[in-house]
Structure 1
Amino acid sequence: MKHSSTRARLIAATTLVASGALVLGACSSSKTAAPTTTTTTTAPVKCPLSGVDAPSGGVPARPALPVKIDNYNAARPQSGLDFTDIVFEEPVEGGITRYVAVFQCQNASSIGPVRSARNIDIGIVGQLGTVPLGHVGGIDPVIANIKSAGITDLDLGHNPQAATHPAGRYAPYDTYTSTAALYALVPNMTTPPKPIYTFTTPVPTGTAITSAHVPFSGQSDVTWNWNASSGTWLRFYNGTQPDNNADGTQNQAANVIVQTVHVTYGPWVENAGGGLEVQAQLYGTSGPAMVLRNGVQITGTWSRDSVSSPTIFKTSSGKTITMAPGRTWVELLPDTQTPTVTPAPASSTTTTTLKK
């Protein structure tokens, strides 16, 4: 009986040890098999022409859409400029200016007043890739050149279904359109443009300024004032008059480029008053430029190899001038005019002499 009792105790102890080993083994196996979690962060997709986050996480499958908008006094206030990626202000006959308003990442329900095409438009839009051009008419040699350049001609005079005529507007300042109406005319054009600027958040070295004066003419006497609260340059006429859109939004830009260009006149008569077509060589050449961003002025030069290549802006030391994410407004200022800036620490206006 004594041997039997001792044997029973040994068997019980051995069973207990084995059970403990199984429990420990199970715990160890459970820890080893625990899955690891990996977090992948995807960088937001950027709009190619503005460098800001693309709407709904993706760039729209459509080309850049340049539209000609009038800037004569009677044409103001315009509609749609506050939904652009880029605006080019170009000189035309009579000392007035017009806009090539470029849309791509945003939609605008009202754009206008839309006016006629000019030969200078070809050099402007060529750097945007294969594009349609929204406008209303143009003289025969200009339209022929536009078509020869491979630009899809969206003349609202021939596409009345894409035009509207708001109440209270009178000819020739009464033709309007929208991004939806114009893109509907080119459903097979689905390739977004490539970036034409390099965007960075860090501010390049420059001179702090509070404003810049860009004197096209008495019709378009432009001042850009830096607004630290919005982080943009606000646009004014004659120094104090806000340049507002029809919806009340003041025109503003993250970047203002003053690109000095050489202009000539002719050979074609553009209007009944005898005004000659304004021509400007925008590629195969170079010239002075200044870039305004983040409250600073960066002076340098511009150059462009061909009609299809982008305009390159560099400092005097040869470094590429980068843009801030947001809208860019390009002032194609004739070399007969000189821009001026007001430095931030002083109250006096200084003349910016750009090397010609």
Structure 2
Amino acid sequence: MDKKKFSYALITMLMVISACSNKEEARPVKNEETVQQEEKPVTAEEEEVSVYPLTGLEAEGELNQRPVAVMINNHPTARPQSGLHKADIVYEVLAEGSITRFLAVFQSEIPDTIGPVRSARDYYIDLSEGFDALFISHGWSPDAQEKLESGEADYLNGLFYDGTLFWRADHRKAPHNSYISYENILKGAKSNKYETTADVEPLAFLSEEEVVNLKGEPASKFVIKYDKSETWNVTYEYNQTKQSYSRFSDNEQTVDLESEEPIQLTNVFVVEMEHTFIDSYGRRSIDLTSGGKAILFQNGQMKEVKWENRNGRILPVKDGEVLKLVPGKTWVNIVPNIEDAFVIQTQ
């Protein structure tokens, strides 16, 4: 090879080596810190946890189930009831005389069997509207009938579905033996073209740290008296280990009929509302809008507060601010007079 050709080949080879070297230098290299950041696992605190809107508990199922509000019988011959233990929120309110009935609001979990189902009163319908719930009853008062037939709420009434969507249990006598299933509620909703899903406005809940730091007067056992007779008295006992309240009626613990699972609550809210008799039958009108005295029980403690109706929901308020709830289930006892109805018992 002559010198000219050799020089040309050498120059070409050097250019190729230089180009390869530049490509290697231009290739991005992950330093150790970057690799560690990318491989770092996401902590539980960093993950966004979905919670149910009416309990604040971590969601294990659908979040957008439309709430279902069911009128449930509380006559002594209707106890123990079916499905109450799965309600997110229960309102206990006087119907006639000293008899209370429940409005059970289900959203996070809806039991297979609910009942005994009883007739509606207008103020129970008003309470259900704060959740845009599908309203379930068996029968109605004249005022409740007017509200429902005017379209104030979507509803299923056992008067029209007795023996189809509703059934009569053979272990109890009428009118304390009407039951319905969630499957039949869905069937009824479909046939009436009611929505079964909804974006449910969440309640405000305390964080774990806020729960630990709650302040109030000790009150681990207390009684709500609806009458002089113990038949209509409600007792709540706080279990520090379980961090929940158990409920008793007439000294019998409130449990589910089928599973015998007890009611376990994290919030008990006692509110005073004006009650007015409106007919000779003993039906009442109850003022759900004016606000007033209330007591909130959480973590085995009590706190005197006010109640306000915010967008149809009865909520605890202190110094104009809505108080947060402890995550879990809530029971609301509506009474005509707190001073007459409320008794603390020492253990």
Which TM-score band (shorter chain)? 0.7 to 0.9
Measured in 1, the distance between the counterparts of 2:221 and 2:23 equals: 73
Change in CA separation of 1:57 and 1:16 when aligned onto 2, cut-off 3 Å: farther
Asked if 1:69 is matched to 2:75, the reply is no
Give the equivalent residue in structure 2 for 1:290.
295
User: 2:82·2:115 contact (CA, 8 Å) conserved in 1?
Assistant: yes
- Tell me the CA shift for residue 252 of structure 1: 1.7
Give the equivalent residue in structure 2 for 1:177.
180
Change in CA separation of 1:280 and 1:141 when aligned onto 2, cut-off 3 Å: closer
Measured in 1, the distance between the counterparts of 2:201 and 2:314 equals: 11
Q: How does 1:152-231 map to 2 (within 5 A)?
A: 152-160=154-162, 161-187=164-190, 188-190=193-195, 191-192=197-198, 194-195=200-201, 197-201=203-207, 202-203=210-211, 204-217=214-227, 218-231=230-243
2:321 to 319, 322, 325: 319
Task: Write out per-residue CA displacement over residues 104-139 of structure 1, whole angstroms, 9 at most, x where no aligned residue.
Answer: 22121000001111122133223222x331111123
**Secondary structure of residue in 2 paired with 1:233:** strand
TM-score by length of 1: 0.80
- Tell me the CA shift for residue 19 of structure 1: 8.0
1:245 to 233, 256, 260: 256
User: 1:44·1:57 contact (CA, 8 Å) conserved in 2?
Assistant: no
Instruction: Give unmatched runs, 5+ long, in structure 1.
Output: 270-275, 349-356
- Tell me the CA shift for residue 94 of structure 1: 2.3
Specify the code of the residue in structure 2 equivalent to 1:54.
Answer: A
Q: How does 1:13-28 map to 2 (within 5 A)?
A: 25-28=22-25
Task: Write out per-residue CA displacement over residues 291-338 of structure 1, whole angstroms, 9 at most, x where no aligned residue.
Answer: 112222121111226xx53333212x3332110121111101221733
Measured in 2, the distance between the counterparts of 1:227 and 1:121 equals: 30
Measured in 1, the distance between the counterparts of 2:151 and 2:315 equals: 21
User: 1:127·1:196 contact (CA, 8 Å) conserved in 2?
Assistant: no
User: 2:64·2:200 contact (CA, 8 Å) conserved in 1?
Assistant: no
- Tell me the CA shift for residue 33 of structure 1: 7.7
Measured in 2, the distance between the counterparts of 1:215 and 1:193 equals: 37
Give the equivalent residue in structure 1 for 2:275.
263
Task: Write out per-residue CA displacement over residues 169-218 of structure 1, whole angstroms, 9 at most, x where no aligned residue.
Answer: 22222111122211321234335264363112212432232122111223
Q: How does 1:108-127 map to 2 (within 5 A)?
A: 108-127=111-130
Asked if 1:31 is matched to 2:28, the reply is yes
Specify the code of the residue in structure 2 equivalent to 1:223.
Answer: T
Measured in 1, the distance between the counterparts of 2:199 and 2:176 equals: 30
**Secondary structure of residue in 2 paired with 1:128:** coil
Question: Which segment is superposed worse, 80-89 or 132-141?
Answer: 132-141
Specify the code of the residue in structure 1 equivalent to 2:255.
Answer: N
Give the equivalent residue in structure 2 for 1:353.
none
Give the equivalent residue in structure 2 for 1:235.
247
Give the equivalent residue in structure 2 for 1:56.
61
User: 1:128·1:193 contact (CA, 8 Å) conserved in 2?
Assistant: no
Asked if 1:101 is matched to 2:104, the reply is yes
Measured in 1, the distance between the counterparts of 2:199 and 2:170 equals: 35
User: 2:221·2:238 contact (CA, 8 Å) conserved in 1?
Assistant: yes
Measured in 2, the distance between the counterparts of 1:206 and 1:149 equals: 43
**Secondary structure of residue in 2 paired with 1:267:** coil
Measured in 2, the distance between the counterparts of 1:99 and 1:234 equals: 17
**Secondary structure of residue in 1 paired with 2:188:** coil
**Secondary structure of residue in 1 paired with 2:58:** coil
Question: Which segment is superposed worse, 147-156 or 95-104?
Answer: 147-156
Question: Which segment is superposed worse, 173-182 or 148-157?
Answer: 148-157
Measured on the aligned residues, the alpha-carbon RMSD in Å equals 3.3
Q: How does 1:314-353 map to 2 (within 5 A)?
A: 314-315=317-318, 317-335=319-337, 337-342=340-345, 347=346
Task: Give aligned-pair identity as a percent.
Answer: 23
Specify the code of the residue in structure 2 equivalent to 1:228.
Answer: Q
Change in CA separation of 1:213 and 1:120 when aligned onto 2, cut-off 3 Å: same
User: 1:147·1:153 contact (CA, 8 Å) conserved in 2?
Assistant: no
Give the equivalent residue in structure 2 for 1:84.
87
User: 1:164·1:176 contact (CA, 8 Å) conserved in 2?
Assistant: yes
TM-score by length of 2: 0.82
Change in CA separation of 1:230 and 1:29 when aligned onto 2, cut-off 3 Å: farther
Change in CA separation of 1:125 and 1:208 when aligned onto 2, cut-off 3 Å: same
